[in-house]
Amino acid sequence: QKEVEQDPGPLSVPEGAIVSLNCTYSNSAFQYFMWYRQYSRKGPELLMYTYSSGNKEDGRFTAQVDKSSKYISLFIRDSQPSDSATYLCAIEGGSEKLVFGKGTKLTVNP
Amino acid sequence: EAGVAQSPRYKIIEKRQSVAFWCNPISGHATLYWYQQILGQGPKLLIQFQNNGVVDDSQLPKDRFSAERLKGVDSTLKIQPAKLEDSAVYLCASSLLGLFNEQFFGPGTRLTVL
């Protein structure tokens, strides 16, 4: 079983839709949970991170962590064409080492 | 504030040739990472430096890959000899030292091995 599993998609939605992106992980010792956004031909950039179970909101983005189920989610409300990118979940596995999911490619159509 | 710089941006080589990538991290960032991102995959950590010491190189194929970070600033990653399966984007990232600090990524070097 891989440490982090993420459905690679691709996912295509109309502008204004609510997007749900998900990852599961195997190691209960993981402490920090992150979502990175990667535009084509660019490096990943940190979108949000959480430490504990529960929700964290930042504008149109909500990150959700359920440690009991080892499940993390990212919700995007009122999606925009500029949100079109690959979204990578990442989990901090100790010693500042990140373990990434495969990434989900999202396209928001105007 | 300048971001993480990498060069070259693109490189095409024949298999069995050697290649080197360069990274200049954000000023003051003690920790530097090299990742390999194969098409359709997430980044995989190859090596992590703290200042000029290696913290983790468990996933670095040491028979062909090497990396150094002289003086705790710039870093180079070398592949010698390259294989077809080394075709990937090589990402450099840096972060401040601490319990959790955001990793800032460079634009990457896209390597194609023919």
pLDDT digits (tens, 9 = 90+) for B2-15: 899 999 999 999 99
Residue A90 with chain B: CB contacts under 8 Å = 42
pLDDT at A40 over 90: yes
Q: How far apart are CA B86 and CA B46, in angstroms?
A: 12
Q: How far apart are CA A54 and CA A72, in angstroms?
A: 10
pLDDT at B97 over 90: no
Quote the tokens at residue A85: 């990118």
pLDDT band, very low/low/confident/very high, at A52 (cuts 50, 70, 90): confident
Contact B41 A103 (CB under 8 A): yes
pLDDT band, very low/low/confident/very high, at B1 (cuts 50, 70, 90): low
pLDDT band, very low/low/confident/very high, at B99 (cuts 50, 70, 90): low
Give the pLDDT mean for A97-105. 93
**Is some CB atom of chain B closer than 8 A to the CB atom of A45?**
yes
Smallest CA–CA distance from B93 into chain A, residue: A43
What tens digit of pLDDT does each residue of B29-43 get? 999 999 999 999 999
Residue B91 with chain A: CB contacts under 8 Å = 43-44
